[in-house]
């Protein structure tokens, strides 16, 4: 289940892209889920574990993909139990966060109200209040109440 916590929390990875650069594994890059996320978010093609073809940058390494995709890949494949700051993701990553959270227990940290409107119907446990939200409207209501505190 997707769990969301707003604000500063101890031991969260505040800048996931830097953590990714030092922790990712080759098989994470060539996993079908990563290939789809890289294509969707960065419009880039995974050629191999060490080569990604970007329409903007040309041939790049995994260390040069966007911070949002790096964070998504960490959420999907890092089994350390770390909590990643999803505020390093753009709103275009929200549907992928929901998808990852339906396949595993995933806790994310947010410092802003991420736009989950593209995610369709989803369920998330709001750690700040202990409430389960179902869908974007309930998420927004709860998120704004948390942010006002």
Helix axes 16-23, 67-77, angle to 10 degrees: 60
SS3 at position 75: helix
pLDDT for the residue 26: 98
pLDDT for the residue 11: 85
Nearest one of 77, 71, 85 to 42, comparing CA atoms: 71
pLDDT for the residue 147: 77
pLDDT at residue 74 tops 80: yes
The whole domain housing 92 covers 2-148
Tens-digit pLDDT profile for residues 92-145 = 999 999 999 999 999 999 999 999 999 999 999 999 999 999 999 999 999 999
Contacts of 136 (CB under 8 A, 6+ apart): 116, 117, 119, 122
pLDDT for the residue 130: 97
pLDDT at residue 149 tops 80: no
What is the tally of structural domains in the chain?
A: 1
Instruction: Tell me the percentage of the chain whose pLDDT exceeds 70.
Output: 99
What are φ and ψ of residue 118, in 5° steps? -80, -5
pLDDT for the residue 148: 75
SS3 at position 104: coil
């Amino acid at each position: 289940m997707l769990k969301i916590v707003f604000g500063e929390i101890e031991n969260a990875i505040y800048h996931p892209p830097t953590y990714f650069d030092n922790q990712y594994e080759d098989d994470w890059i060539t996993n079908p889920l990563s290939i789809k996320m890289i294509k969707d978010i960065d419009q880039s093609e995974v050629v191999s574990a060490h080569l990604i073809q970007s329409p903007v940058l040309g041939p790049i390494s995994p260390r040069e993909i966007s911070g949002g995709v790096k964070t998504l890949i960490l959420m999907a494949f890092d089994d350390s139990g770390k909590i990643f700051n999803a505020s390093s993701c753009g709103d275009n990553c929200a549907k992928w966060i929901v998808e990852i959270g339906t396949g595993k227990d995933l806790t994310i940290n947010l410092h802003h109200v991420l736009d989950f409107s593209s995610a369709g119907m989803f369920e998330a446990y709001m750690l700040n209040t202990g409430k389960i939200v179902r869908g974007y409207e309930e998420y927004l209501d709860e998120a704004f109440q948390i942010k006002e505190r």
